[in-house]
């Protein structure tokens, strides 16, 4: 699987562990930064990660910030993205299986290197359910998104 990866300065120290684990389980990584611990704005990195997913350059994305919340808010502003904060194993796979999440957001100040490996493995191995009720609900999410009809500047 090819994944788009990004972080802000609060997630910088954990991003290398994320990238290393992804590589160890056979995933290819597109790294969108940040590349130092210098302060950056997470919405800028989230935009890059999400655009990569939407363009089909990556199958899914992972954002690492302080709590995962800011990255999730930013990612969910982009039409076509379904982002979730995942700090436990169950959420990491169920968000994909039930909600077709395409960007997982992780809080570096919440989880450490040991847990992040389990979260990533769970997220990467999950697939969207074929059950009708999950597909119907995700389609309703897409309808809500279309009704909002917000065009992002390119």
Q: What is the pLDDT of residues 89-106, one digit of tens each?
A: 999 999 999 999 999 999
Alpha-carbon span 75 to 107, nearest angstrom: 14
Q: What is the pTM of this model?
A: 0.93
pLDDT in tens, 48-61: 999 999 999 999 99
Segment 1-11 mean pLDDT? 98
Task: Centre a 10 Å sphere on the Cβ of residue 99 and count the other Cβ atoms it contains.
Answer: 18
Any catalytic annotation for residue 65?
yes
Catalytic residue among 27, 65, 86, 105: 65
Q: How many residues does the chain have?
A: 154
Residue 34: cis peptide before it, omega within 30 degrees of 0: yes
Any catalytic annotation for residue 93?
no
């Amino acid at each position: 699987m090819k994944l788009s990866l990004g972080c802000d300065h609060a997630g910088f120290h954990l991003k290398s562990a994320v990238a290393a684990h992804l590589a160890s389980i056979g995933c290819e990584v597109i790294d969108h930064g940040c590349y130092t611990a210098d302060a950056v704005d997470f919405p800028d990195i989230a935009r890059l990660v999400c655009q990569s997913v939407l363009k089909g350059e990556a199958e899914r994305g992972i954002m690492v910030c302080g709590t995962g919340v800011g990255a999730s808010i930013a990612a969910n502003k982009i039409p076509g993205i379904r982002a979730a904060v995942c700090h436990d194993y169950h959420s990491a796979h169920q968000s994909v299986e039930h909600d077709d999440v395409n960007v997982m957001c992780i809080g570096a100040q919440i989880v450490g290197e040991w847990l992040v490996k389990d979260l990533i493995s769970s997220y990467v191995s999950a697939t969207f359910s074929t059950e009708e009720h999950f597909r119907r609900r995700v389609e309703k999410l897409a309808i809500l998104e279309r009704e909002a009809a917000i065009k992002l500047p390119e």
